[in-house]
């Protein structure tokens, strides 16, 4: 029987531990607006998917497709891809518009609980879009783009 102490790590354990620390350190190095935007984006997608399943009884393939879409968007935004930031703002706008109208409809129809759920979805996606559209965030994402060599001859 092998006795593993906390001081006796294999090389893979150390690499995984350092890899996670490097990843967290990289995220901590993001500007505050980018960190807040990513946090709001993840919270918005989690609440959106949770709400669709629990409150609006979505099941099946559509929910899985939406979940995959949310995971991919969040992953590529965290990977500092400018196209993903733009795509996330586009998706947030579409989902937000749908749910602001749904919230108004629920409130006017006397379904206050569902109105609050829909308004929360709208608010979270709005907050993520605002943070990701701020000039500091846009500049950070654009700085990660590769140099364009337009006009240069090969």
pLDDT in tens, 114-136: 999 999 999 999 999 999 999 99
Encoding tokens for residue 113?
């609980």
The structure's pTM equals: 0.78
Q: Where are the domains of the chain?
A: 29-143
Residue 147 pLDDT more than 80? no
Q: Give the span between the Cα atoms of 37 and 31, in whole angstroms.
A: 10
- pLDDT tens-digit map of 67-105: 999 999 999 999 989 999 999 999 999 999 999 999 999
Q: Nearest to residue 129, comparing CAs of 79, 85, 84? A: 85
Residue 109: φ, ψ to 5° = -85, 0
Report d(CA 14, CA 8) in Å as an integer. 10
Cβ pair 138, 33 in contact under 8 A: no
Tell me the backbone φ, ψ of residue 141, rounded to 5 degrees: -70, -40
**Residues of the chain with pLDDT > 70: what percent?**
79
Residue 89 has a CB neighbour count (10 Å cut-off) of 20
């Amino acid at each position: 029987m092998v006795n593993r102490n906390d001081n006796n790590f294999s090389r893979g354990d150390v690499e995984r531990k350092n890899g996670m620390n490097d990843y967290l350190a990289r995220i901590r190095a993001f500007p505050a607006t980018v960190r807040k935007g990513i946090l709001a984006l993840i919270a918005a997608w989690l609440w959106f998917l949770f709400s669709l399943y629990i409150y609006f009884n979505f099941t099946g393939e559509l929910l899985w497709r939406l979940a995959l879409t949310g995971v991919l968007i969040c992953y590529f935004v965290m990977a500092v891809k400018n196209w993903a930031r733009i795509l996330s703002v586009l998706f947030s706008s579409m989902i937000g518009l749908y749910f602001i109208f749904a919230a108004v409809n629920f409130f006017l129809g006397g379904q206050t609980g569902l109105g609050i759920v829909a308004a929360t979805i709208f608010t979270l996606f709005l907050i993520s879009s605002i943070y990701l559209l701020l000039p500091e965030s846009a500049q950070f994402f654009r700085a990660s783009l590769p140099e364009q060599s337009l006009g240069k001859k090969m």
